[in-house]
Chains A and B, each alone.
Chain A
Amino acid sequence: MQKKGINRRQFLKLTGAGSLVAAAGTIGGGLTLPKGLWAATPAIKGPIKIGYQTVLSGTLAGYGEFHKMGLLMAVDEINAKGGIAGRKVEVEVRDSTLKPDDAIKNARYFVDSWGADFLGGIDSSGQALALAPLMDKLDRVLIVTHAATEKLTEDFVYRKGVRQIFRNCMPTYNDGNAAAFIAKDFPAVKWATVSPKYEYGFTCWKMFRETLTKLKPGVSFTAESWAPFGTTDFRSHINTILDAKPDGLYSTEWAGELISFLKQAKEAGLFDKIRYVMLPVGAAMDVLEGMGKDMPDNLWISGRYYFQYPNNKTNNEWVARFRKRWGHYPAYVSETAYSCVYAIKEAVEKAGSKDTGAVIQAMEGMGMNSPAGHRVFRKEDHQAIYDVPWGKTKADPKFPFKVMGDMKVLPAKEYFNRPPFEGPGTTPPFK
């Protein structure tokens, strides 16, 4: 995969340039004076500072680069148009290294030393859960843009009342519940999995099993094969699955490991023997581009955002701008990073303040338009509700990689767990 990197110097230049444009706009025209609610209340002092952390080292560093592309686009666009409530946006990006203690240290640095007004990013669930209990002490709004664990919003926001945490990316509900809604229409009754041997893999498979059993009594789950983080040789896992002779395969493998798995499974003829394959994060751009034409057809894939959905002006124009600037199709983390900054903009301008309490109040239940479509931050658990498609891989002469065909879009409301998150009527299907 060809990567168009950004180094810190370029990055500074870009943000600096953005602020110059903004300054020129306000001095020169006098026409770009702030309007709206915040015009009457110049209570916001100084720039709006966003501390963003993502993985920039190690094998998953490519994800961090995609985060940064979306982030910088949003910051530059907003600054060029006068900033947030007339204030310039400043961001600093730090390497989260995927380690929970580094996530905590970064957050403390951002808030206590750099003076961040907002926090964003976070890739791994472990990091999100480690940081969560600290958020009421740090008392800044954190928008999680990649970590998917439902515990973050169910346990910390809803049950423990850590109201500073928001999430604008898809949680595990799409990987587990939505996959089951898609799978129920297949003739397959025997299912198996090859999934990551950590919380994410276990949780999704459990959710998939439970929801599918409710939707289609009589299905059975015949084999599980757990691949530890860093697995490169999937042959034994593939053999376990082939021996069990299932009708369907479900896998939450992701990124480079999913690519290795798919290539090895293809060689072993797995896709000839198993007709129904579900990959909840298979529609990630690194996987689609990484597999290229080798991606088998007719695998069911999804993601937290997919660049061809929704097929509307906002999204298509954004994808075009993104391609023009970075030479890539946006990955889902690019979209969530981009929308994270816009969510902050909407909330601050709605609240007329950047104080945490006021912003939280503004964000609860707030709706916003974004490339991924309309998002609403659910009041109870601060989870953004928006729709993402599922579809089957197919070749398209316009793209050098396989794309998503036969798109099916389930309304997120129908498969997101609902507060109070325990007892009957909180998990799908809903009546």
Chain B
Amino acid sequence: MTESRIRYAVLAALLLALAAVPYVSGKFFVYLTMRVMLLGIFAVGFNLLLGQTGLLSFGHGAFYAAGAYGLGLFGAYVTPNPLLGVAVGIAAAAVVALLVGYLCVRHTEIYFAMLTLACGMMVFSFVWNARSITGGDDGFIGIMRAPVTLFGGLRLPIGKDSQFYYFVLAFFVLAVWVAHRIRISPFGLVLSGIRENARRTEYAGIPVRKYRLSVFVVSGAFAGLAGALEALLESNARPFMAHWTHSAEPVLVSLLGGLSSLFGPIVGGAFFIAMREIIQRYTENWMLGFGVVLLVVIMAFRGGIMGAVENLFGRRSAGAGR
């Protein structure tokens, strides 16, 4: 078998396993898997910016929140159709990302990080203070999961978690596929070029700033998708979605899983959620144990968990081949 066939087989097996989750496991595991997929969407999009383009943003929570509040407000005042709601959430996130990105992409490195942090916290304060629109610190509550209507006739209920799971799974697969296409497209190659050497890329006649802005908006849209789905999952949107502590989550899971691969952030997200859940069952001081585990993983596996796995397999296949 060729390498690509193996890869497809593994992907198909993974997908089947994911699709089987509601049939073979308890409700709580289904819920946690949904959380992993949401964090996965958030982090995969984020990693287009960090891993692919080399820009570290600390403000992606703002776009996540834009997606969640976008869906919530649209659902409350226009129509509760979840597909339209998700679309509106993504659009809202993209618009906010465009505004923030326009201000931020002219800088790089720490300046970029600080600017995105500041913009994110501005969005947080806005959401916190605009109580009549957003519900303030109580959050925007009472978001309902109306059935999905397709082509006028077909109605798919998503009220139950086991039904909503497939809604999330569909978007998760779509998001990962889109991220994959972006990574291997000419656009993605330019982004890698910018990461490696922005000045040289610019000398090649490429408008670097526009590319940065584009990928910023795209990754913001991914965050918006994750936010909109979470709003549906939890029936609420909260100001702390826009807080920098939430913006730091994709940074952390990307580092954990590995910046250089498509699946790194997803693996990191799964590890992050699973570890926390496991440690919390043993101690109430879970934050301490969690911190230690994260420290060890980040220190020990350079290139993240996926980096370590690739090294292992790379060595093995190299050994077998010769």
Contact A130 B137, beta carbon cutoff 8 Å: no
Is the pair A101, B238 in contact by a Cβ cutoff of 8 Å? yes
Contact at B137–A126, with CB atoms within 8 Å? yes
With A and B bound together, what is the CA distance between A93 and B286 in angstroms? 13
Partner among B142, B234, B285 whose Cβ is within 8 Å of the Cβ of A104: B234
Bound Cα distance from A420 to B292, whole angstroms? 52
A80-136 with Cβ < 8 A to chain B: 93-95, 99-101, 104-105, 108-109, 112-113, 125-126, 129-130, 132-134
By a CB distance below 8 angstroms, the chain A residues around B2 are none
Interface residue range, chain B: 20 to 34
> Which residues in chain A, 41-71, are within 8 Å of chain B measured between CB atoms?
56-57
* CB–CB B240/A99 < 8 A: yes
Residues of the A chain whose Cβ atoms lie less than 8 Å from the Cβ of B131: 199, 202
Q: How far is the CB of B200 from chain A (nearest CB, A)?
A: 43
User: CA separation between A94 and B277, bound complex, in Å?
Assistant: 11
Q: Does A398 contact B (CB under 8 A)?
A: no
Instruction: Tell me how far the C-beta of A107 lies from the nearest C-beta in chain B, rounded to whole angstroms.
Output: 10
The complex places the Cα of A105 from the Cα of B286 at a distance, in Å, of 15
- Tell me, in angstroms, the Cα distance from A161 to B280 when the chains sit together: 33
Q: How many Å from the CB of A5 to the closest CB on chain B?
A: 10
Name the interface residues of B216-250: CB closer than 8 Å to any CB of A: 230, 234-236, 238, 240
A-side contacts of B277, CB under 8 Å: 109
CB atoms of A8 and B283 under 8 A apart: yes
Of the candidates A100, A109, A132, A134, the one whose C-beta lies within 8 Å of that of B28 is A109
User: Please, what's the 1-or-0 string for B279-311, where 1 marks a CB less than 8 Å from any CB in chain A?
Assistant: 010111111000000000000000000000000
Query: Any chain A CB within 8 A of the CB of B139?
Result: yes
How many angstroms from the CA of A57 to the CA of B141 in the assembled complex?
Answer: 25
- Within the assembled complex, what's the spacing in Å between the Cα atoms of A7 and B284? 8
Interface presence of A186 (CB below 8 A): no
Q: How far is the CA of A199 from the CA of B136 in the complex (A)?
A: 7
Out of B35, B136, B230, B284, which one reaches A93, CB within 8 Å?
Answer: B284
Candidates B138, B142, B230; contact of A199 at CB < 8 Å: B138
Contact between chains at A113 and B26 (CB < 8 Å): yes
A163 to B3, CA, bound (A): 57
B284-A8 in contact (CB<8A): yes
Chain A interface SS verdict (over half): helix
Over the window 254-269 of chain B, the binary record of Cβ atoms lying under 8 Å from chain A Cβ atoms (1 yes, 0 no) is: 0000000000000000
Q: Per a CB cutoff under 8 Å, which of A57, A93, A101, A149 touches B287?
A: A57
The listed residue with most A CB atoms (<10 A of its CB), out of B26, B139, B161, is B139
| Residues of B with C-beta under 8 A to A93 | 284
Query: Would B238 and A108 count as touching, CB distance under 8 A?
Result: no
Q: Least Cβ distance of B141 to chain A in Å? A: 5
Q: Which of B123-172 contact A (CB under 8 A)?
A: 128, 131, 136-139, 141-142, 161
B280 close to A129 (CB less than 8 A):
no
Judged by a CB distance under 8 angstroms, whether A430 is at the interface is no
Q: How many angstroms between the C-alpha atoms of A109 and B29 in the bound complex?
A: 9
B72 to chain A, nearest CB (A): 12
Residue A151 interfacial (CB < 8 Å)? yes
A130 and B238 contacting across the interface, CB-CB below 8 Å: yes
A198 at the interface (CB under 8 A from B): yes
Q: Within 8 Å CB of B138, what residues of A?
A: 125-126, 129, 149, 151, 199
**Which residues does chain B contribute within 8 Å of A134, judged by CB atoms?**
234-235
Binding site for A on B (CB under 8 A): 26-29, 31, 35, 128, 131, 136-139, 141-142, 161, 230, 234-236, 238, 240, 277, 280, 282-287
Q: Which 6 A-B pairs have the closest CB atoms?
A: A113-B28, A112-B27, A112-B28, A198-B137, A133-B235, A199-B138
